[in-house]
Copies of this chain bind each other. A is one copy, B any other.
């Protein structure tokens, strides 16, 4: 049975704190292994990459090459079901359109003192995209990671993807082709991250690495952070559904299970003010769990991490949502916008009864790479801004420096930084 909490219960706060403190990720201590692989790739380059690829993926890259030819990437589109390709193209168009709206404007401004001040946005020159192989190879994730980089204007996107026993889902290549990316290497794990961060003869170094991966990939990304930028380290997926009693319980059950099927460590939580409705949803989940294809995974996730929280009123929802800071938040209520306006911490919000979270996973347009494990308190989903950076600028002339420079001299002297003070004072003349 799924756990049930109620805000009317005197023990609620303790139960809720336990829910918040719950750790869903196993601590895999792979850091030392990742560190050794990185050091080896740094010192031996392509030779080390080839050895690890042979060992882990049973693949002889000396024979077939580390890079997947661009013709093979683009040719993959022909090898996929036309319906799937059409759906990918539609998704790509919508994702690209929404991310174009995110392109920021710079600042270029002359203030009252006559100082010109501003900020320009520039794309990161080169980005590495890690694409998982095997079960976790989702063409939708390829679009979600690659398209924001392309929209931002990143000049070079280099992709690494492990191909165990030479096997690779052609839809992953098709998604890369549709996203306009064709620099693809058949390498995975910490060795791929190391090659992207430090460069080898075959794989030129990049400036930032994004994309999901297993524990070794995550550990390697943490290790190379600083040498290159990295995106967030994603945890297990999660959904929080706030629903009143007017919903179809089958719909809400389907939404809860759409996250639960991802991963045994995924988490699905229902907040509702209607106890009878909660019972109907729990029953609908049980019924669907009996027949759905990924029932082992979903049942385990629901049993271990699922929760139903009964509210005295939906008015209680925003405070609890903010404490949970969910990756995905569905508001299946009559006035979802009014509720959304009261929420501060959420990765993505799905408004109303006709917006299941899964449309956001594929075709809505906003990114599906979102902050997990309560990190929506301080971070954001992937977007165009993650592939841009800001450079500020200042321009003084003799007059404007004369106006603002003396205060800089005072502060520099106060801080004991006399050379700072001198570099300003030496240029000062009486203000014109």
Contact = CB atoms under 8 A, between A and B. Distances in A.
B261 A336 contact: no
Interface residues of A, number: 122
Contacts of A138: 415
Contact of A419 (B140, B257, B396): B257
Interface in A345-375: 345-367, 371, 373, 375
A377 interface: yes
Contacts of A362: 407-408, 411-412, 420
Contacts of A383: 119, 390
Which one of A98, A138, A357 has the highest number of Cβ atoms from chain B below 10 Å of its Cβ?
A: A98
Contacts of A412: 358, 361-362
B258 A394 contact: no
B390 A365 contact: no
Contacts of A119: 101-102, 366, 383
B294 A418 contact: yes
A83 B410 contact: yes
B394 A390 contact: no
Interface of A: 81, 83-84, 86-88, 90-91, 94, 97-98, 101-102, 104, 107, 109, 111, 115-117, 119, 122-125, 138-140, 171, 207-208, 226, 228-229, 233, 250-251, 254-255, 257-258, 260-262, 288, 292-294, 298, 322, 336-337, 340, 343-367, 371, 373, 375-381, 383, 385, 389-398, 400-401, 404-408, 410-412, 414-424, 426-427
